[in-house]
């Protein structure tokens, strides 16, 4: 097997590798050239993902594109090289360590060149479904989500097509887009779906979510894609405002169980994380527990609850203060916040403690909220997880 650690020096030939991949037909490349190019793509993608942990650099589609590239290339490289060789070009830690704070473009041009190369790859992948030879509407993003028409995929491509039409990188961008489209065509022909389409899907998800937020007449919402249609009743920006990136695995338009973590555009003390709160029964209490950028906890429930409290696994109960409530029992709304003194106790609690959430309605006994989903377990979260999520959601913004 080829030891790729011997044939590349990280980033020193990334422009060359991009040129090879963008200009040379795949059949004309030697195995060495293919592996070298894949290793460079992998190095650039993992570097940008690492940097993005400490500096808000990537939007939703860009982030998903680099995740997909990392996973796709990792599998391909391991067919021809060892695990150790792959590890030698994994630059996630290098990017994370190098970007412990956001870097200036003027003072750190080399580091920013790597980010720009990663963005070029990401933008080409977002735009690729629109450049497929086959009808993209015959291929699933994954086995669980809708197929999109070419007219819908075009929306993920048009911004980048216009951007690179005005830059010297047009040839590289067009070459990469065509290459990625060919890979998607091959995956779709083989399996009926392609993970490489996730980048464009997540870009569309962000555009449609914000589009719904900005529309004033909520009774007549206009959507442009199937993604928007599935977001109408429960889009994230309705609660969080304009956002840039969501953390975690690809889930299409579905909200996740557990922590839902977002980087939102506005900075201050905006809501940035939420957990689902549900209870059994047709008229059970449902809602969300939010965490703001300053770490405040706010519960908004679609029932008029009598009381709520947050319970730590060490036995400490933190009583939430009811700010507002209307309606009767399961029909209504209530909002609770964690008071300052209780917030201080929570902030001082050890990270290995677990939180659960209790409520009381109509003078009935206390009950514990559950997570989302059928037959969901009790909603619970480690303080370590919430603090790590909050740190990720509030990193400074680069650019």
pLDDT digits (tens, 9 = 90+) for 159-168: 899 999 888 8
Q: What is the mean pLDDT of residues 59-65?
A: 97
pLDDT band at 21 (very low <50, low <70, confident <90, very high): very low
Share of the chain above pLDDT 90, in %: 69
Specify the pLDDT at position 5: 39
Other beta carbons less than 10 A from residue 371's beta carbon: 17
Per-residue pLDDT, 330: 67
Report the pLDDT value the prediction gives residue 363, as an integer from 0 to 100.
83
Domains of the chain, by residue range, sit at 4-202, 255-393
91-118 pLDDT tens trace: 999 999 999 999 999 999 999 999 999 9
Radius of gyration in angstroms for the set of CA atoms belonging to the chain, rounded to a whole number: 23
Averaged pLDDT of the chain: 88
The reported pLDDT for the residue numbered 2 is 38
pLDDT at 282 over 70: no
Q: Check pLDDT > 70 for residue 24.
A: no
CA 156-247-158 angle, 5° bins? 10
285 confidence band (pLDDT: 50, 70, 90): confident
The reported pLDDT for the residue numbered 166 is: 82
Tell me, what's the pLDDT at 339?
Answer: 98
The pLDDT value recorded for residue 217 is: 65
Q: Per-residue DSSP letters for 30-95?
A: -HHHHHHHHHHHHHHHHHHHHHHHHSB---HHHHHHHHHHHHHHHHHHHTTS-HHHHHHT--HHHH
Quote the pLDDT of residue 218.
62
What is the average pLDDT across 163-179? 91
Average pLDDT value for residue range 296-308: 95
pLDDT at 18 over 60: no
Mean pLDDT within 226-233? 85
Q: What percent of the chain has pLDDT over 70?
A: 89
Strand partners, 329: 304
In the predicted model, what is the mean pLDDT of residues 257-262?
A: 94
Partners of 326 in the β-ladder: 333
Split at pLDDT 50, 70, 90, the class of 228 is confident
């Amino acid at each position: 097997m080829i030891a790729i650690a011997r044939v590349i020096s990280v980033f020193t030939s990334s422009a060359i590798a991009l040129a090879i991949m963008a200009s040379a037909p795949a059949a004309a490349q030697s195995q060495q050239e293919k592996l070298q190019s894949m290793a460079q793509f992998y190095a650039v993608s993992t570097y940008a993902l690492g940097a993005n942990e400490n500096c808000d650099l990537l939007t939703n589609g860009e982030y998903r594109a680099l995740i997909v590239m990392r996973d796709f290339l990792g599998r391909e490289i391991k067919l021809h090289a060892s695990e150790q060789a792959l590890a030698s070009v994994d630059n996630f830690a290098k990017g994370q360590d190098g970007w412990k704070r956001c870097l200036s473009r003027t003072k750190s041009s080399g580091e920013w060149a790597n980010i720009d190369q990663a963005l070029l790859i990401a933008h080409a992948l977002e735009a690729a479904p629109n450049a497929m030879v086959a009808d993209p509407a015959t291929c699933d993003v994954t086995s669980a989500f809708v197929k999109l028409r070419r007219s819908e995929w075009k929306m993920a491509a048009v911004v980048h097509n216009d951007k690179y039409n005005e830059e010297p990188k047009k040839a590289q961008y067009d070459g990469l887009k065509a290459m990625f489209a060919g890979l998607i065509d091959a995956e779709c022909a083989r399996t009926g779906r392609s993970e490489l389409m996730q980048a464009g899907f997540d870009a569309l998800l962000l555009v449609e979510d914000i589009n719904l937020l900005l529309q004033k007449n909520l009774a007549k919402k206009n959507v442009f894609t199937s993604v928007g249609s599935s977001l109408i009743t429960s889009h994230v920006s309705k609660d969080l405002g304009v956002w840039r990136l969501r953390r975690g695995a690809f889930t299409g338009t579905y909200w996740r169980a557990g922590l839902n973590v977002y980087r939102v555009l506005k900075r201050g003390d905006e809501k940035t994380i939420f957990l689902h709160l549900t209870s059994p029964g047709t008229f059970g209490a449902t809602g969300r527990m939010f965490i703001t950028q300053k770490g405040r906890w706010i519960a908004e429930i679609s029932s008029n609850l009598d009381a709520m409290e947050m319970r730590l696994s060490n036995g400490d109960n933190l009583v939430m203060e009811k700010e507002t409530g209307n309606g009767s029992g399961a029909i209504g709304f209530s909002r609770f916040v964690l008071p300052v003194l209780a917030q201080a106790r929570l902030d001082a609690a050890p990270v290995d403690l677990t939180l659960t959430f209790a409520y009381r309605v109509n003078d009935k006994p206390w009950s514990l909220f559950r997570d989302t989903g059928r037959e969901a377990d009790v909603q619970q979260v480690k303080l370590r997880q919430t603090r790590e999520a909050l740190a990720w959601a509030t990193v400074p913004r680069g650019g």
